[in-house]
Amino acid sequence: MTALTQPQIDFFWQNGYLVVENAVSAAQLAALKADFDGWVEDSRSHDAAYGDTLDGRPRFDLEPCHSAEKPALRRVNAPVEVSKAYFDAMADSVMTACVADLIGPNVKLHHTKINSKLPGGNTQVKWHQDFPFTPHSNDDVVTALLMVDEVTEENGPLEVLAGSHRGEIHGLWHDGVFTGSIDDKVAADCQAKSVTCTGPAGSVCLMHTRLLHGSAPNRSQRPRTLFI
């Protein structure tokens, strides 16, 4: 199934990102929302990271401000291991076809996670590139960020520096310490020139692995949940 037009493909390779609406069906989106809402409810009975992935990491991660009254589930690692809805969206959806149109057809999954910014949380993602976290011998790697909720200018959207995938790979170590983020001055320059990636629920932002990006905390009363 071909999902992208040639102008969309050209835009991705020129800018390093592309937002596509209706990347999953309405039924798939409803199932994704239902599973995540269930995990949020379950998190109310926990006060620290819990659960186990197949490789032994905690599956559910909580913000420090999490409480039973105001849950702040910020990450679900490898949701495809425990949810048919998330597995199916990853394996067989318009989103999958979009990735194949860019780098396929022999696409291999690296990993999945959910990053959520619930209202009142403080999660901020500092500027970085994905490639240093998942090094390959080549860079035909696409990060697909599916918007389980509507993403707006106010609820902590992805911010990108268009075209930066064609530039250098920036270090994530500073003064001998691994920070997971690029140099603060470079980050400030990126922020000044950034583009925000917003869209209705069910949209996907396709991002080149070398693209510089970050995101601010959710300052709204609306959740921002991404299936990555």
Q: Which stretches of the chain drop beneath a pLDDT of 50?
A: none
Q: What are 204's two structure tokens?
A: 């996907």
Q: Give me the pLDDT at residue 123, please.
A: 83
Neighbours of 5 (CB within 10 A): 10
Q: Give me the pLDDT at residue 1, please.
A: 64
Domains annotated for the chain, with CATH where assigned, are 6-227 (2.60.120.620)
Nearest to 115 by CA among 65, 153, 77: 77
Alpha carbon separation from 189 to 5, 79, 166, 172, 184 (Å, rounded): 32, 35, 16, 16, 9
Neighbours of 105 (CB within 10 A): 8
Q: Give me the pLDDT at residue 90, please.
A: 97
Q: Give me the pLDDT at residue 95, please.
A: 97
Neighbours of 13 (CB within 10 A): 12
Q: What are 143's two structure tokens?
A: 């990060």
Nearest to 105 by CA among 14, 21, 24, 3: 3
Length of the chain: 228
Q: Give me the pLDDT at residue 83, please.
A: 98
Run of H or E including 94: helix 94-103
Q: Is the dihedral of CA 128, 187, 208, 137 positive or negative?
A: negative
Burial (Cβ within 10 Å: 0-12, 13-18, ≥19) of residue 117? buried
Q: Give me the pLDDT at residue 132, please.
A: 92
What type of residue is 127?
W
